[in-house]
Amino acid sequence: YSREEHHYFLADLYEQRNDYAIAEQHYRILIPMQKGFIGPYKHLWQLLEKIGRYNDAEAVLFQYRFENNRQGANELNAFYRRVTVHFPMMATGN
């Protein structure tokens, strides 16, 4: 199988073991390997959201938006909707 599949497999394995730092490393390795493809970006921002690193997840979304402006903007808007569900007081400015 390909190097990309190897990194996806390892990232998933480490994520299941709650070893998020190593899973993150594998997703970050995949991003330049699959330039412009949403897969590694999406896995990474979902991992970062899952562990509460919302600022880092937002940065990954901005990075993807640079690669694909239209889909990136849609994904960024969906991210903001998800965040406002978790933190409704921040959405109202209170």
Number of Cβ within 10 Å of residue 23's Cβ equals 22
pLDDT at 2 over 70: yes
Residue-wise pLDDT tens digits, 49-73: 999 999 999 999 999 999 999 999 9
| Consecutive H or E run containing 62 | helix 54-67
Rounded percentage of the chain residues whose pLDDT exceeds 70: 95
SS3 content of the chain, % helix, strand, coil (to 5): 80, 0, 20
| Spatial separation of the C-alpha atoms in residues 52 and 30, rounded to whole Å | 22
pLDDT at 1 over 60: yes
pLDDT for the residue 94: 52
User: pTM surpassing 0.85?
Assistant: yes
| Spatial separation of the C-alpha atoms in residues 65 and 55, rounded to whole Å | 15
